Amino acid sequence: MPRFSKQFEELAVRHAAFAFHQSLVFAAEVEAANWAYDLEARTFSVGDRTLPMSPLGTTLPDHGVLAWCWADSSLERWPWTKDASWRLRMYGIQHDVPEFTTGGVPIGEWDDLDEAAKRITLVAMGVLGAKGANGFRMHHGGGFYVLTEDPAIPAPAEPEPALVEQVLTLVAEYFPDVDQTEVAASYVDALGGWWSQIPGGLTLRFATGGMSLHYNGNRLAWTGPSMG
């Protein structure tokens, strides 16, 4: 699997798990149905539900890039579509994250450009504090990626151990080369919990319970009760 920049992967450590959790909350709130978007109304719809839309970018198969909306001349009629990606650009300039500062993120080494775009969108979702994300298939074969910051979508609640394991497993599949214990620690911090290192892993505590995470190499091997 191709790698992202060190700076971007550090953001993945900080944000990917909480953003995955938020994505699961979003999926539970929004029914599985046909999706559509409306640039004039600044919304996208899922079945009968309409949500505010913050476009991010589009994958361009012929060029092997994810083109950010701020650099997309085809969106000049809708200047508001550039807002979210511009905020990312400003963040990228401030924190030296090359994926956020270039107009087109080079992802041509990926077998599936949209797999790369999903990872970039996930981290962007965490950085911007969005409540959900989606990708739309375009006529040219690429994907159009958007966020929603709809306040009606709830934030993640304290998770059950099975959900913690699910989220951390998903992050490990998306970003296998980052330190998975650091991912877990950042996730607990984002949820307002407490964690401490134990031999081979971490012990976690939340307001109503806790658990321990045990790793084999850089992979979560099993979970158990909170320790210490």
Chain centre distance of CA 93: 20
Report how far residue 106's alpha carbon sits from residue 73's, in angstroms, rounded to the nearest whole number. Answer: 18
What's the pLDDT tens digit per position in 11-40? 999 999 999 999 999 999 887 667 888 999
What's the pLDDT tens digit per position in 161-192? 999 999 999 999 999 999 999 999 999 999 99
- Report pLDDT for 114: 92
Chain centre distance of CA 136: 16
State the average pLDDT for the chain: 94
The 3-state DSSP class for residue 212 equals strand
The model's pTM is 0.94
